[in-house]
Structures are given as structure tokens and as C-alpha cells.
Amino acid sequence: MTPDSCIRVFAITSHQLILAGLNALLTDHPGNFLWLGGHPPTASLFRELERHHPKIVILDDASLNTLPTLSAYLAEHHVELILLTQSEELKGLEAQIQQGVLGIVHVSEPLGSILGALHAVSQQHLWVPARLRERLLTKAFSSMAQKSDNNSSGFFDLSTKEKELIRLIVHHPEAKALALGEWLGIQESTLRNRLSRIYQKLHLHGRASLVMFAQQYHLD
């Protein structure tokens, strides 16, 4: 497999032990992943992200909290997130999923769990620790439904065109906005505006949470 066809993986952390573990794991078991190395959550991080163009970023709790604009930047550049966390607090992890984190790996899990998360996230599938999965997803879906049910402009006010766009995203989660617009016969700017309205109505952030919501309400 050539480097151009590999899924580019980058880490954001200040912990050298985490970097060393990821380096060993992805060097010994590269599969279809290209390990790009890592960088601490400092101001120069964004320059490194621009240079490497990762498809998936692995980051820890501290890194996510250090740079408030990081999640928005990665979402804008269509980078998927795997959170390496020490927390088992459901409310916080639920919030991360709704903010667009697609993979969650607890630090107590074997390092090899990251490979499972990488494979799942690379296919736009959610990955969370098995012991938390049922409780976490039930809570996340319940919260999404509650927010929509309490908002008169929420789920039940989605237009036919908005539902059509949701179905298209569910079936083509990695498609760029330009391609989605071409399939629907609309301008990219129109598509982005439509998607923004969907997020506002459903109180969601990012494609991962939108796909989860669509599957919950059988919009797929």
C-alpha cells in the first residue's frame, strides 16, 4: 500500500509515554494507516496539522481542553477524532460524542484497542469502551431526543430536503460538501447552509452525531 492511499494518523499529546506507545503500535502494525507522529497542544500545533494533513487525530483529555478552538478546527478540516481518556463520567463523554468525537479509548484498555478504534473510525463507525457502550449510547440518544422533543423547530420540523441530505450523509459519511451538493443538484454554499440549519434544529455538532441521530430515528 502506497503512502498516498494510507489513512494518515497524527497524535496530540504532551505525554511522551503515549507517543512512544502509539509509535510502537503503528510502526509494528501499520495496516492501512500511516503514522505521522505527534505534537504537544501548543500554538505551533496548527502549523503541524497544516503540514501533515491527518485524516484521524488521537488526542488526550488535557490536549482537548488546552486549545478550545481545536475541535472546531479539526471539524472544519474533516478530521476524525479519537479521544484517549481517563474519565468514565458519562455526561462528559456524551458531550464529546455530541461535539464530534467518533472514537473513545480509555487509558486502562490495552494499547491494541486503539487499532480497533482506528479501524472503526476510518469507516465512520463509533467506537467506545465495551463496558461503557450501552450506558453511554443510551444516554447520548436520550439526550438528543430530549433536546429535539423540547424544541418546536427540531426533529419533527425537518423538511423533506433536509431529510434527504441526512440520508445522503448517512450513506456517504466521508463525502465532501462539494460532492454532496453535486449529487443533490445544489451549490456547495447552499448545502452548507442547509446542513447548518439541520445541526441547529437537532442541537447536534458534526457528522458523527448526525449519523447516530439518523440511525436512532430510522432516517437512514
pLDDT tens sequence across 138-161: 555 555 555 545 443 455 578 888
Residue 146 included in any domain: no
The grid cell for 32 is 492501512
| Judgement on whether residues 7 and 100 belong to the same structural domain of the protein | yes
Residue 142 included in any domain: no
Q: How confident is the model at residue 3 (pLDDT cuts 50, 70, 90)?
A: low
Number of structural domains (the chain) is 2
pLDDT tens sequence across 10-38: 999 988 888 898 888 888 877 789 999 99
Residue 79 included in any domain: yes
| Judgement on whether residues 116 and 207 belong to the same structural domain of the protein | no
| Judgement on whether residues 79 and 113 belong to the same structural domain of the protein | yes
Q: Are 92 and 207 in contact (CB under 8 A)?
A: no
Q: How confident is the model at residue 39 (pLDDT cuts 50, 70, 90)?
A: very high
Distance CA 204, CA 16 (A): 34
Which helix (H) or strand (E) element contains residue 35? strand 33-39
| Judgement on whether residues 93 and 7 belong to the same structural domain of the protein | yes
For residues 10 and 214, the model is more confident at: 10
| Judgement on whether residues 130 and 24 belong to the same structural domain of the protein | yes
Residue 143 included in any domain: no
Give the range of the structural domain holding residue 190, as residue numbers without chain letter.
151-216
CATH number of residue 177's parent domain: 1.10.10.10
Question: Which of 25, 75, 77 lies closest to 53 in space, CA to CA?
Answer: 77
- Among 134, 165, 195, the domain boundary falls at 134
CATH number of residue 71's parent domain: 3.40.50.2300
Q: How confident is the model at residue 90 (pLDDT cuts 50, 70, 90)?
A: confident
| Judgement on whether residues 184 and 100 belong to the same structural domain of the protein | no
- pLDDT for the residue numbered 155: 57
- Among 103, 134, 165, the domain boundary falls at 134
Residue 140 included in any domain: no
| Judgement on whether residues 11 and 42 belong to the same structural domain of the protein | yes
| Judgement on whether residues 83 and 43 belong to the same structural domain of the protein | yes
| Judgement on whether residues 161 and 128 belong to the same structural domain of the protein | no
- pLDDT for the residue numbered 38: 93
pLDDT tens sequence across 108-137: 888 778 888 898 888 777 788 776 766 665
- pLDDT for the residue numbered 8: 93
| Judgement on whether residues 109 and 167 belong to the same structural domain of the protein | no
- Average pLDDT on 88-116 reads 81
Per DSSP bridges, beta strands 33-39 and 7-12 are parallel
